[in-house]
Amino acid sequence: MAEIRTNDTRERILDAAERLFMTHGYEGTSMRQITGEASVNLAAVNYHFGSKEALMQEVFRRRLDWLNEERMRVLDEMEAEAAGKPLKPSQIVDGFFGTLLRMAGDEKRGGVTFLRLLGRTLTEPSEFIRAFLAHEYQTVMDRYKEALFKALPEVPKAEIVWRFHFMLGATSYAIAGTDALRLVTDWQIEDEDSTDRLDRLVPRLMSFLLGGLRAPLPQFSDAAAASN
């Protein structure tokens, strides 16, 4: 009696929408595709969620609520243990991006499907979902940036914010494109099966992110003010 058909209509719709939005995007997915895949009546989406937009928000909300709480919990824990001293950058990066990436292995939390949806959505600035994501992320993002400021006091804050941005991009893309865009991965990634590839993605990406975060500061061609 572990996990038998507890799927009610709501969850079947959410699962189908998550998968279809990931594959075809929000605009590219129709309600009839969603209700068809979920084997529910067309009107069920509007009955349970109100609209397609509200469905999209709920798809994100049920995953992001857990993710951001977990990120907060991890950061609280690390800061409590550090007792006021700055955290190591690797700890902070792992708390934010590692927590995200480890969702990929947790099918109960959406697995790779949700991560890819999130990755592609972050570059799709449709107004309503952007506002929603910004609101969901605001608090946890600020906490992690503050932690980075404290961990890297010698780096100008603006630089840290930019590098956080770059790290988000590398991560989104690494997830969204793991097998979507074959541009890069088609060859010379020889003998790793897909679970192996996912397991190894985390340390690979972590190394890259930390290398970028701690890179030498850029030299601007014109000597301008770069205050902290």
Site for DNA, rule CB under 7 A = 5, 7-9, 29-33, 40-48, 51-53
Nearer to DNA, 30 or 185 (CB): 30
Q: Decide if residue 51 touches a second copy (CB under 8 A).
A: no
Q: Which of residues 126-185 bind a second copy (CB under 8 A)?
A: 126, 130, 133-134, 137-138, 141, 145, 157-159, 161-174, 176-177, 180-185
Nearer to DNA, 35 or 178 (CB): 35
Q: Decide if residue 32 touches a second copy (CB under 8 A).
A: no
Which of the choices DNA, a second copy, none does residue 51 contact, using the CB cut-off of 5 to 8 A by kind?
DNA
Q: Which of residues 177-196 bind a second copy (CB under 8 A)?
A: 177, 180-186, 188-192, 196
Q: Which of 89, 95, 110, 112 binds a second copy (CB under 8 A)?
A: 89
Residues 200, 192 contacting (CB under 8 angstroms): yes
Question: Hey, what's the torsion of the CAs at 110, 114, 115, 116, to 10 degrees?
Answer: 140
Which of the choices DNA, a second copy, none does residue 221 contact, using the CB cut-off of 5 to 8 A by kind?
a second copy
Beta carbons within 10 angstroms of residue 53's beta carbon? 14
Which of the choices DNA, a second copy, none does residue 200 contact, using the CB cut-off of 5 to 8 A by kind?
a second copy
Per CB under 8 A, which region of 42-50, 53-61, 69-77, 84-92 contacts a second copy? 84-92
Total interface residues for a second copy by CB under 8 A: 82
Nearer to a second copy, 8 or 142 (CB): 142
Minimum distance of DNA from residue 125's CB (angstroms)? 18
3 state DSSP class of 221: coil
Query: CA–CA separation, 2 vs 50, rounded Å?
Result: 32
Cβ burial of 55 (10 Å; 0-12, 13-18, 19+) is: buried
Which of the choices DNA, a second copy, none does residue 6 contact, using the CB cut-off of 5 to 8 A by kind?
none
Residues 100, 167 contacting (CB under 8 angstroms): no
Query: CA–CA separation, 188 vs 98, rounded Å?
Result: 26
Query: CA–CA separation, 156 vs 148, rounded Å?
Result: 11
Query: CA–CA separation, 28 vs 23, rounded Å?
Result: 9
Cβ burial of 199 (10 Å; 0-12, 13-18, 19+) is: middle
Query: CA–CA separation, 121 vs 101, rounded Å?
Result: 16
Q: Which of 108, 195, 216, 223 binds a second copy (CB under 8 A)?
A: 216
